[in-house]
C-alpha cells in the first residue's frame, strides 16, 4: 500500500508523516514556481528577440529609404518607397553602383504607347535616369542616358499635376500623373543639370559605358536574357523592345 493510501485510510498522522507531506508540498510549489519563472523568462526572451529583429528591419528599411531620398525622409517619401519597394530594391541591387548617388525620385506614369501606360517611379541617379516598376513577376525597367537627352518640356495634366516630355535620341518619352510640388521642381533641376553637364562634356559618355553594376547577378547575361524572354512571353515587352534589350545585354 502506498504512503498516500495509508494516510487517507487513517484518522491520525504522525509528526514525521506530516513533516514529510509538508516537505513534498513545498517541493511541488517550488517546482511549479520555477517552471512558471522559466516560462516567463522564455517569453521575455522571445519578446526581446522580436523587438530586436523589428528594430533591425526598421533600421534596414530606413537605410534603404535614405539611399533614394536622403537623410530624414518625410512620411510622403516613405510611403512612395513602401508603394514601390520591389522596384527600389531591384534598382539598388541590379542597376546602381554601391557608391552611386541618387539625385531625385518622383512617381510617374510612363506612356510607353497610346495603349500602354505603366505606373512606377523615375529615379535620377548620377549616371542615368531609370524608370522602374516591379511587382512580383510583373516588371518593367528602362534606363535613359543623360547624354542622349536633348531637352525637356512640361505640360499641364489636370489641376495639380504635370506631364513631362523628354526629347530622347530621335524620339520623345512621355511621363504624366506627376504631382507638381517642390520635389518635382528639384527633380527637374537635376535633369536639366545633367543634360547641360553631358552636353558640355561629351567625354562623360565613355564613363557611363565603363561602369558596372554592383552585384554578380546583374552581370549574368543568361539570367538577364531569361528575364526579358519571360517579359516578352507575358506581353510586357514588344518584339522590338525585346530585341533592343537583348542587344544591350549581349554588349
The answer to whether residues 58 and 95 belong to one domain is no
Digit-coded pLDDT (tens) for 131-179: 999 998 899 999 999 999 999 999 998 888 899 999 998 899 999 999 9
pLDDT value at 59 more than 70: yes
The answer to whether residues 164 and 127 belong to one domain is yes
The answer to whether residues 135 and 104 belong to one domain is yes
Total domain count, the chain: 2
Digit-coded pLDDT (tens) for 103-115: 999 999 999 887 8
The answer to whether residues 116 and 18 belong to one domain is no
The answer to whether residues 115 and 175 belong to one domain is yes
Residue 139 Cα distances to 35, 61, 164, 231, 242, angstroms: 53, 21, 22, 8, 14
pLDDT value at 48 more than 70: yes
CA angle 105, 110, 116 (to 5 degrees): 155
Query: What sign results for the dihedral spanned by CA atoms 238, 243, 248, 249?
Result: positive
Whole-structure pTM value = 0.65
Digit-coded pLDDT (tens) for 212-242: 444 444 446 667 777 777 777 766 677 777 7
SS3 at position 127: coil
* Mean pLDDT score of the chain: 84
The answer to whether residues 116 and 190 belong to one domain is yes
Is residue 211 in some structural domain?
yes
Domain limits at 28? 14-70
Phi/psi of residue 165, nearest 5 degrees: -115, 130
Question: Where a domain ends, among 70, 104, 135?
Answer: 70
The answer to whether residues 187 and 117 belong to one domain is yes
When pLDDT is cut at 50, 70 and 90, the band that residue 209 belongs to is very low
Amino acid at each position: 500500500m502506498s504512503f498516500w493510501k495509508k494516510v487517507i485510510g487513517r484518522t491520525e498522522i504522525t509528526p514525521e508523516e506530516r513533516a514529510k507531506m509538508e516537505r513534498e508540498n513545498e517541493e511541488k510549489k517550488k517546482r511549479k514556481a520555477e517552471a512558471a519563472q522559466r516560462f516567463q523568462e522564455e517569453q521575455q526572451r522571445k519578446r526581446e528577440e522580436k523587438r530586436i529583429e523589428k528594430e533591425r528591419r526598421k533600421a534596414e528599411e530606413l537605410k534603404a529609404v535614405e539611399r533614394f531620398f536622403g537623410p530624414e525622409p518625410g512620411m510622403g517619401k516613405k510611403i512612395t518607397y513602401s508603394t514601390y519597394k520591389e522596384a527600389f530594391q531591384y534598382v539598388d541591387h541590379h542597376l546602381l553602383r554601391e557608391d552611386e548617388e541618387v539625385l531625385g525620385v518622383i512617381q510617374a506614369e510612363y506612356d510607353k504607347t497610346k495603349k500602354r501606360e505603366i505606373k512606377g517611379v523615375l529615379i535620377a541617379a548620377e549616371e542615368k535616369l531609370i524608370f522602374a516598376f516591379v511587382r512580383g513577376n510583373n516588371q518593367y525597367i528602362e534606363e535613359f542616358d543623360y547624354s542622349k537627352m536633348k531637352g525637356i518640356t512640361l505640360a499641364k495634366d489636370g489641376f495639380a499635376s504635370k506631364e513631362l516630355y523628354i526629347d530622347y535620341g530621335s524620339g520623345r518619352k512621355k511621363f504624366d500623373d506627376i504631382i507638381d510640388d517642390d520635389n518635382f521642381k528639384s527633380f527637374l533641376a537635376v535633369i536639366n543639370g545633367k543634360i547641360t553637364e553631358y552636353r558640355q562634356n561629351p567625354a562623360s559618355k565613355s564613363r557611363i559605358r565603363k561602369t558596372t553594376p554592383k552585384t554578380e547577378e546583374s552581370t549574368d547575361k543568361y539570367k538577364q536574357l531569361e528575364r526579358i524572354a519571360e517579359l516578352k512571353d507575358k506581353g510586357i515587352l514588344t518584339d522590338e523592345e525585346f530585341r533592343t534589350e537583348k542587344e544591350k545585354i549581349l554588349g
